[in-house]
Amino acid sequence: MTTLDPAAAREAWRLAEPLHAMVYFVPEATERFEALGISARAGYFAARGGVFGPVGPAPVVATFYNFRPDLVARFLPSTWEIVSPAAAIEARLAAADAALERGLGDTLRSDEVAEAASLARRAAESATAHLAGRPLYAAHTELEWPKEPHLVLWHAQTLLREFRGDGHVAALLLAGLSGLQSMILHTASGQASGGFLRASRGWSKEEWAAETETLRSQGLMTGDELSDEGRELRARIEAETDRLAAPAYEVLGTDGCVRLAELVRPLSRTLVKAGFLASVAPARPKQ
């Protein structure tokens, strides 16, 4: 049970998240995956899901939560005939290295980045005391830590992202929401692009429309917007996600979370302004 205010942990995670998430959108990732003979989408499933080993689609569908199963099955396990999980994971790290270098340059060698990396690593490593029910996070903890401070920061945020994500999936399950339904409600809140989420996760317009109608019938949406009940449900899910993510940051305390947020804010702002997360529009981290 954490005594840390979940809001402090959320702010530290939120402001650092662009440092990790950009790897899913930058051309450096596409280049490195294509050099291995696979597409960027195959690389995404192979690099993120490769922490489980050369698995089929089921563990990825289960833990990623919001992808259409047949989309995942298009790439796994067939991608393992071309690349190994280790090669895919290494390519993702190399892409992150190159993209951060392009976006932040000499700033990566600063004392501030080294301090941020140290704080984030403390949080990410302390979360190993809470492995139960955290499959994606737990699998990522078995990867070796990189040596350069900016990659330590990237890897730490990767771990913290998966730790939070595992908790978010638990909150969605308890709320009785499927991955597709959760995306529709997220879109209805105005915080994400429905077209991007639907297409990137492999759902058809008809499937999206059918589940939207289901959510309307449950009183969670009015038209294309959240109802009062829908807003209350989303607020409860986000609060539960924050609560479940907070134990990772307990080791930092409020002051450490505030400091981490201060250190990563200008880094993330630079990447966002430079378009490193352009495909995520319209949602943007508040500065």
pLDDT tens-digit series, residues 115-167: 999 999 999 999 999 999 999 999 999 999 999 999 999 999 999 999 999 99
Residue 210 per-residue DSSP state:
H
> Does a structural domain hold residue 194?
yes
pLDDT given at position 3: 80
Residue 284 has pLDDT above 80, yes or no: no
Domain tally, the chain: 1
> Does a structural domain hold residue 196?
yes
Domain containing 232 equals: 6-280
> Does a structural domain hold residue 234?
yes
> Does a structural domain hold residue 14?
yes
> Does a structural domain hold residue 1?
no
pLDDT given at position 278: 83
**What mean pLDDT comes out for the span 64-72?**
97
> Cα–Cα distances in Å, from 261 out to 15, 112, 150, 231?
6, 11, 15, 27
> Cα–Cα distances in Å, from 59 out to 46, 62, 66, 175, 200?
12, 5, 12, 21, 19
What confidence tier does 192 reach under pLDDT thresholds 50, 70, 90?
confident
Lowest mean pLDDT, pick from 70-79, 87-96, 135-144, 278-287: 278-287
**Do residues 181 and 89 touch, judged by C-beta distance below 8 A?**
no
> Cα–Cα distances in Å, from 126 out to 18, 105, 139, 250?
22, 30, 15, 8
Rounded to an integer, what distance in angstroms lies between the CA atom of residue 274 and that of residue 132? Answer: 38
pTM: 0.94
**Do residues 20 and 97 touch, judged by C-beta distance below 8 A?**
no
pLDDT tens digits for range 225-249 = 999 999 999 999 999 999 999 999 9
Closest Cα to residue 200, out of 180, 181, 227?
180
> Does a structural domain hold residue 248?
yes
Query: Cis omega before residue 247 (within 30°)?
Result: no
pLDDT tens digits for range 83-117 = 999 999 999 999 999 999 999 999 999 999 999 99
pLDDT given at position 287: 32
Closest Cα to residue 160, out of 97, 229, 87, 252?
252
pLDDT tens digits for range 4-61 = 999 999 999 999 999 999 999 999 999 999 999 999 999 999 999 999 999 999 999 9
pLDDT given at position 279: 64
> Does a structural domain hold residue 156?
yes
> Does a structural domain hold residue 41?
yes
